[in-house]
Amino acid sequence: MKIQRLFFLAFLLVTGLAFSQNYDTDILSKDFHNGRREALRKFLPNNSCAVIFAGAERQRANDTKFIYHQDPDFYYLTGLNEPNAVVIIFKEEQTFYDTIKTRELIFIQDRDPAKEVWTGKIMGIKGVEDQLGFSTVFINNKFADFNIEFSSFEKVFHLDFDGDIQDDSNDSGDLHSLIKHFHSKTTYAKKNSDAQNLKVWLASMREVKQPEEIILMRKAIDITCNAHIEVMKALEPEMKEYQAQAVAEFMFKNQGSEYVGYPSIVGGGENSCILHYETNRKKLTGTDILVIDAGAEYHGYTADVTRTLPVDGKFSEQEKIIYTIVLEAQEAGIKACVSGAEFRAAHKAALAVIQKRLLEQGIIKNPNDYLDYFFHGTSHYLGLDVHDAGNYGKLAPGNIITVEPGIYIPIGSKCDPKWWNIGVRIEDDVLITTAAPEVLSGKLPKKIEEIEALMREESLFNKVK
């Protein structure tokens, strides 16, 4: 019995199954990614193919790279989170070298035990076959000589190439080389090349989330809401903006988020009026209002949530007025998020409220002067990108969008100085359904009395100095 157990343990170690329960078990399945490739094939005309490259690696400093982030389209179709790869999806089955019959090819980087000691294990051919479900896998340096006659296809669809791609002269299969060889293989087939339609097709696919994606989005958004709640409890005068940021991002990590979905925006006082402020170095005072726009990323999917908080825990009279206008505008925008409505319906509904209320307060004299204080769109798609792919047509069930109106009145604005340095944005993540919209971030308070009550609660972070 003991010998049998030892043999069984050895089998688990070899296959890697012994450790699988200790890692994430809720990642997207190979069936999901295969289903996305099948969905793309429905767009492809007869005798055509689609070519999608992995994302580029980015150099941070000297010999240090930024943490790798896969191209969202490539990840969506393959599940591979490694660089220096290309996938080719054919409409019909193809035959190569008389014996290889397939409807897709993927070229990936080879395993290198010497490098893996430093950077961790990569999938290699067997991993991509077993874990991602591809049957025809080659090492990327084989792409140069692989006999693909692109000129024989009616159309070769691909995406535009990113110009910031480094050439590793020691790697004949790096992304630079893959793209270079693709160009050389299609030089005589330029008339067949199409760099427009694939982007549109993938956007139409990605803008409607599959059930598996919605599960991950709910997780990312729930993590984000919990983090914002802790910031509300912890916020107090004399904190630095980066300390509020640290509370949120600790909570992200502590709940399982791999990364932030985008650089956290934590702007107090005059910085509340800067839409994408990311410096986060100011010391906060009791008279400041704080905009915190921060979202967790979970398994590639990101949340995007914003709240505006009084640093001393109580909104001033002027802050209450502006906040109430933005909240009313947001509620009108969310109400407009129904299936079949045009994408800008939420923006138009929110804008109507903001124009009317700013006129009533005398902050603007003419309706079009709203652009001085509200100069961005109200919604964007959300998913694998914080500003996710989509064609911005009519809303449909499965869309997840933001609703985020704001008013920003910087110092020197053409209104009474009592309004200066008040910036307010309220943002929630909304799922379009066949009925009423579902506010996925609805657990996070946004009414004035709810926020003030929560800010009176103690946080464990108040004890950390």
CATH code of the domain containing 184: 3.40.350.10
Calpha distance 265→274 (Å, rounded): 9
Q: Which residues, in sequence order, are CB contacts of 68 under 8 Å at separation 6+?
A: 55, 57, 81, 82, 83
- Residue-wise pLDDT for 317-350, tens only, equals 999 999 999 999 999 999 999 999 999 999 999 9
Neighbours of 127 (CB within 10 A): 17
**Over 90: is that where the pLDDT of 436 sits?**
yes
Residue 306 DSSP one-character state: E
- Going by C-alpha positions, the residue among 177, 188, 183 that lies closest to residue 107 is 177
Burial class (CB in 10 A: 0-12, 13-18, 19+), 233: middle
**What is the amino acid identity at position 77?**
L
Which long-range contacts (C-beta less than 8 Å, at least 24 apart) are formed by 173-177?
173/84, 173/107, 173/109, 173/110, 173/139, 173/140, 173/141, 173/142, 173/143, 174/83, 174/84, 174/140, 175/53, 175/54, 175/56, 175/57, 175/83, 175/84, 177/140, 177/141, 177/143, 177/144
Q: What is the mean pLDDT of residues 161-190?
A: 81
Residues 189, 231, single domain; the answer is no
Residue 52 resides in a domain = yes
Dihedrals φ, ψ of 108, to 5°? -130, 170
Residues 171, 227, single domain; the answer is no
Look over the chain and give the mean of its residue pLDDT values, rounded to a whole number.
Answer: 93
Q: Which residues, in sequence order, are CB contacts of 311 under 8 Å at separation 6+?
A: 235, 236, 237, 239, 268, 284, 285, 286, 287, 288, 289, 290
Count of the separate structural domains present in the chain: 2
- Give the relative orientation of helices 448-455 and 317-335 as an angle to the nearest 10 degrees: 120
Residues 217, 186, single domain; the answer is no
User: How would you classify the pairing of strands 137-139 and 100-108?
Assistant: parallel
Tokens found for residue 149: 């006659």
Residue 7 resides in a domain = no
- Residue-wise pLDDT for 264-275, tens only, equals 999 999 999 999
Q: What share of the chain is helix, strand, coil (3-state, %, to 5)?
A: 40, 20, 40
- pLDDT score for 190: 63
- pLDDT score for 168: 78
Residues 213, 171, single domain; the answer is no
Q: What is the mean pLDDT of residues 204-232?
A: 98
Q: Which residues, in sequence order, are CB contacts of 434 under 8 Å at separation 6+?
A: 339, 397
The side-by-side arrangement of strands in the sheet containing 155-158 is 137-139, 100-108, 86-96, 48-53, 155-158, 193-194
Domain boundary pick from 150, 171, 205: 205
The total number of residues shown for the chain amounts to: 465
Domain boundary pick from 152, 186, 205: 205
- pLDDT score for 63: 85
- pLDDT score for 406: 98
- Residue-wise pLDDT for 288-328, tens only, equals 999 999 999 999 999 999 999 999 999 999 999 999 999 99
2 pLDDT band, cuts 50/70/90, is: very low
Residue ranges making up the domain that contains 134: 14-205
Burial class (CB in 10 A: 0-12, 13-18, 19+), 193: middle
Q: Which residues pair with 20 in a beta bridge?
A: none
Residues 169, 299, single domain; the answer is no
Residue 3 resides in a domain = no
Residues 215, 201, single domain; the answer is no
21-25, 408-412, 424-428, 456-460: range with lowest mean pLDDT: 21-25
Q: What is the mean pLDDT of residues 51-71?
A: 93
- pLDDT score for 15: 40
CATH code of the domain containing 343: 3.90.230.10
Residues 51, 65, single domain; the answer is yes
Q: How far is CA 170 from the centre of its chain?
A: 32
The string of DSSP codes covering 227-254 is HHHHHHHH--TT-BHHHHHHHHHHHHHH
Residues 188, 225, single domain; the answer is no
**Over 60: is that where the pLDDT of 7 sits?**
no
Q: What is the mean pLDDT of residues 211-240?
A: 98
Active site residues: 63, 276, 293, 304, 376, 380, 387, 404, 408, 425, 427
- Residue-wise pLDDT for 90-115, tens only, equals 999 999 999 999 999 999 999 999 99
Residue 4 resides in a domain = no
- Going by C-alpha positions, the residue among 237, 224, 171, 162 that lies closest to residue 428 is 224
- pLDDT score for 23: 93
Residues 290, 382, single domain; the answer is yes
- Residue-wise pLDDT for 140-166, tens only, equals 999 999 999 999 999 999 998 766 788
Residue 62 resides in a domain = yes
Residue 129 resides in a domain = yes
Calpha distance 104→138 (Å, rounded): 11
**Over 90: is that where the pLDDT of 10 sits?**
no
CB hemisphere CA count around 452 (13 angstroms): 9
**Over 80: is that where the pLDDT of 5 sits?**
no
Residues 117, 60, single domain; the answer is yes
Cα 265–Cα 258–Cα 220 angle in degrees, nearest 5:
70
- pLDDT score for 3: 42
Calpha distance 364→362 (Å, rounded): 5
Q: What is the mean pLDDT of residues 358-366?
A: 98
- Under 8 Å between Cβ of 271 and 241: yes
- Going by C-alpha positions, the residue among 313, 308, 296 that lies closest to residue 382 is 296
- Going by C-alpha positions, the residue among 325, 335, 355 that lies closest to residue 403 is 335
**Over 70: is that where the pLDDT of 1 sits?**
no
105-119, 162-176, 371-385: range with lowest mean pLDDT: 162-176
Residues 88, 143, single domain; the answer is yes
**Over 70: is that where the pLDDT of 17 sits?**
no
- pLDDT score for 163: 67
Q: What is the mean pLDDT of residues 382-400?
A: 98
Residue 6 resides in a domain = no
Residues 223, 198, single domain; the answer is no
- pLDDT score for 51: 98
CB hemisphere CA count around 224 (13 angstroms): 31
Domain boundary pick from 205, 224, 246: 205
- Residue-wise pLDDT for 243-270, tens only, equals 999 999 999 999 999 999 999 999 999 9
**Over 60: is that where the pLDDT of 201 sits?**
yes
